[in-house]
Amino acid sequence: MFVSRIKEKLNTVHQQGMQVSEVFRYIGPGIIVTVGFIDPGNWAANLAAGAMFGYNLLWVVTLSTIMLILLQHNVAHLGIVTGRCLSECAYDALPRWLSSILLSTAGLAAAATALAEFIGAAIALKMLFGIPLFIGSILTAIICTGMLLTNSYSKLEKVIAGFVSLIALAYLAELSMVDVDWAASGLGWVNPTLPNESMLVILSILGAVIMPHNLFLHSEIIQSREFNKADPAVMQKRLRYEFLDTIFSMGIGWAINSAMIILAAATFFQQGIVVEELEQAQELLVPLIGPSAGVIFALALLFAGFASSATAGMAGASIFAGMFGESYDMKDFHSRIGLALTYVPALVLILFIQDSFKALLISQMFLSLQLPFTIFLQLYLTGSAKVMGAYKNKPSTAIMLWIIGIVVTGMNIYLLFEA
């Protein structure tokens, strides 16, 4: 059902005869969102998957990316049609007490995400320069705050796209250094298997892909592309372009996540080494494929940490501004307060962290608790004629999305109790 839905969308795009150059002018918002599922939490899950089960769990990346595409497309649809983000729509459509509760939990989830991203970037700084974890976290927060306070979305989009490109190039370089069994990789992508004791790792990969803050973020930044909403033909064209942006961008995320698993399978799995921490992975790559591999790994992690920390801050600012019925704008008081409420608690908590890996797990557990609220809030709004008008979810789309929402929620709840 998922694949046929994507094929249907692509066929529609092909029939419209869109020019490639025109399409690429609309690529960008999806890239920003992609950073959220190639963040340090994903790194840990993917490296564990490859080290423990070789190429056998690559299908999980494929399945989770398909579900992610459909949910992110749906929430971007909300932003395009209404001209308001998920947070603002909740403010408009729900009783004030209910929207305040839901959006407050989403803000906490953004802070929990920032905690994990700061830790990931700080681990990379420690690998490269020996900087202590807390100092590295502060440096990351300062750099990302500076990026966001420029209030230039076009510049930020280019910077983050550059980070994503560097991460991709880093993994291409890593893969060129090892002997990959591409036949096994190809089979792993499309052949679902459940090796013994793999369920927790499977759920970790799936649970790390769909994140609450990304759903809020996508509905906000998709509005950066201006168009004439009063013209139905222009609206339909914009919706098609968004879908191409989402598929293209999430496809890049799929490739990078796959590369993480493949690298671990070709190195650690072949040597019978189980990897459970990012520092351990970097240390073990050096004797296996050379000192440059360790440096490339750390640099890629640093880029991922910076980029995902910035997007977590954007999401937190957007959520808080939406609680007052306002759009994200770093010149605005509420957006700046939202950024502070996202970054400062994360830094304070890091000051008391003794075990960075355990802190990553705890932050993911909180996201698991909050995710159902965000998903079902989104599905309620996009299924409402009052909110979406003629563009509300079709019955077939609604059924598919609710199934995905229930499955993702169930996985995250299971992961919460198994962690």
Global pTM value: 0.88
DSSP SS3 for 227: coil
What letter represents residue 348's amino acid? V
- Domains parsed from the chain with CATH numbers: 2-418 (1.20.1740.10)
| Tokens of residue 142, six digits | 């300062």
Q: How far is CA 201 from the centre of its chain?
A: 18
Distance CA 47, CA 64 (A): 16
What gap in Å lies between CA 348 and CA 412, rounded to an integer? 26
Residue 9 and residue 313: Cα distance in Å, rounded? 32
Dihedral sign computed on CA atoms, order 273, 414, 308, 70 = positive
Q: Exposed/middle/buried for 69, CB within 10 Å: 0-12, 13-18, 19+?
A: buried
Cβ count within 10 A of residue 15: 8
- Local confidence pLDDT in tens for the 419 residues of the chain: 545 555 555 555 454 445 555 656 667 788 889 988 888 878 888 888 999 999 999 999 999 999 999 999 999 999 999 989 999 999 999 999 999 999 999 999 999 999 989 999 999 999 999 999 999 999 999 999 999 988 677 788 888 889 899 999 999 998 998 999 999 999 999 999 989 888 888 887 887 788 899 999 999 988 866 655 666 777 777 888 888 899 999 999 999 999 999 999 999 998 888 877 777 777 778 777 778 888 999 999 999 999 999 999 999 999 999 999 999 999 999 999 999 999 999 999 998 888 777 777 677 777 878 889 999 999 999 999 999 999 999 999 999 999 999 988 888 777 767 65
94-111 burial string, b = 16+ CB within 10 Å, else e? beeeebeebbebbbbbbb
Six token digits for residue 39: 């963040």
What does the alpha-carbon distance between residue 1 and residue 334 come to, in Å, rounded to a whole number?
A: 42
- The helix (H) or strand (E) run that includes residue 111 is helix 96-129
Supply the Cα-derived Rg of the chain in whole angstroms: 20
Residue 361 has what pLDDT?
66
Q: Which pLDDT value is given to residue 118?
A: 95
Q: What is the pLDDT of residue 3?
A: 52
Say how far apart CA 169 and CA 296 lie, in whole Å.
10
User: Which has the closest alpha carbon to 70: 214, 247, 200, 188?
Assistant: 247
Tokens matching residue 349: 């908590």
> 310 is written with which tokens?
């910035």
Provide the pLDDT for residue 40: 82
Tens digit of each residue's pLDDT (9 = 90 or more) over 263-302: 999 999 988 888 777 777 777 787 777 788 889 999 999 9
Tokens of 336: 């700046």
CA separation for the pair 355, 359 (Å, rounded): 6
Query: What was the pLDDT predicted at 225?
Result: 61
Q: Quick check: 76 and 179 in contact, CB under 8 A?
A: no
